[in-house]
Amino acid sequence: MLELKETKLITVFDGGDVKIDLGVAQLQDLYRWMLLVRVLDQRMLNLQRQGRIGFYGTVTGEEAAPIGSAYALKPQDWIFPALRQGGAALMRGMPLSLYIAQCYGNSLDLQKGRQMPCHYSYKPTNFVAWSSNIGTQLPHAVGMAYAAKLKRDPVVALAYLGDGATSEGDFHAAMNFAGVWKVPVVFFCQNNQWAISVSLKEQTASESLAIKAVAYGFEGLRVDGNDVLAVYAVTKEAVEKARGGGGPTLIEAVTYRIGAHSSSDDPTRYRSSEEVERWKERDPLERFKKYLQEKKIWSEEWQSELEAQMNEEISQAIKEVEAAPPLTLEAIFTDVYREMPWHLQQQFDALQRSR
């Protein structure tokens, strides 16, 4: 009988016995990406408050989860994200200007303003757009992984979800097919305790989210989602198991959403400030910084240089994006079909005549 192997959180920072195969440059690289996400989130939220973009969802307090997990992938692997994995898109090669342009929806936006802000997509690195209809990316990931298995293509799908998505039918359908077909997919649940205003205890009666994998015939693991090294190690093992034909894994990364669900949310209406302060003590950036300090590979000077460089790069990217013209009305019709069908052609022609 398949059983949940880990009932305790897998951790490195709190004395866990986890093998880490990262050198100094890689450790600093992980910290750099986590810091960029933190700095960028604040800058983007400021833009929203100034009315320069319409919406933004930060990942403050959760940076270790998307960065640590995506760092375990190979370039050919695919990511099917949810709301808070934009940092993984940047880390895998999405230009900063295109990331920011997606939130403006202007002529620099690869998606031509057809997606909600923070719904990134970047084809060159297999980063697939997601839908605000929660959980729909999970069957897509399983389908991609099934195709890879049929083609004997050694690629893995990393499918992200939040704790709220485990209440959606698509989650269970995806888990069932993944278990039956034993496809190379890793489900990564970023359990930040709140599905907007619905707490975890109101989502499930299960003792954990990871244990849900057992019913579908594969392994579930719980990891300290604020411990970037533990996240990396657990995800790497699951990814390589999947690549080698060992089937899927569900990883539950236990973390916390320090900020609001999005720029449209007021979390003070449904949770206490005491709860938030308790989780701030487990800030993933601060914990990793202390680890690097102990290794003597972090300094105040380096931190200041990084922040100055990041803010300059973000400012330049914002300037580039805001200088781009808006989308034209023609964009409604173009870049939709390879060959425009007759009924759209008629509407397009009518638009042209009306000018």
Distance CA 34, CA 38 (A): 6
Q: Where are the domains of the chain?
A: 24-324, 329-355
Averaged pLDDT for residues 69-79: 98
Give CA–CA dist 191/134, Å, rounded. 14
The residue count for the chain: 355
Copy the structure tokens of residue 301.
């000077």
Question: In angstroms, how far is the first alpha carbon of the chain from the final one?
Answer: 70
Q: Above 60 in pLDDT, residue 280?
A: yes
Q: Supply the pLDDT for residue 5.
A: 54
Question: 24-324: which CATH topology?
Answer: Rossmann fold (3.40.50)
Residues 81-103: tens digit of each pLDDT: 999 999 999 999 999 999 999 99
| CA 339 – CA 337 distance, rounded (Å) | 5
Rounded percentage of the chain residues whose pLDDT exceeds 70: 98
- Name the pTM for this structure: 0.95
Q: What is the distance between the alpha carbons of residues 24 and 52, in angstroms, rounded to a whole number?
A: 39
Q: What DSSP string describes 239-258?
A: HHHHHTT---EEEEEE----
Does residue 299 register a pLDDT over 90?
yes
**Which residues are designated catalytic?**
257, 261, 270
Longest dimension (CA), the chain: 71
Tokens of 32: 């750099």
Tokens of 232: 């990396």
Residue 173 reports pLDDT greater than 90:
yes
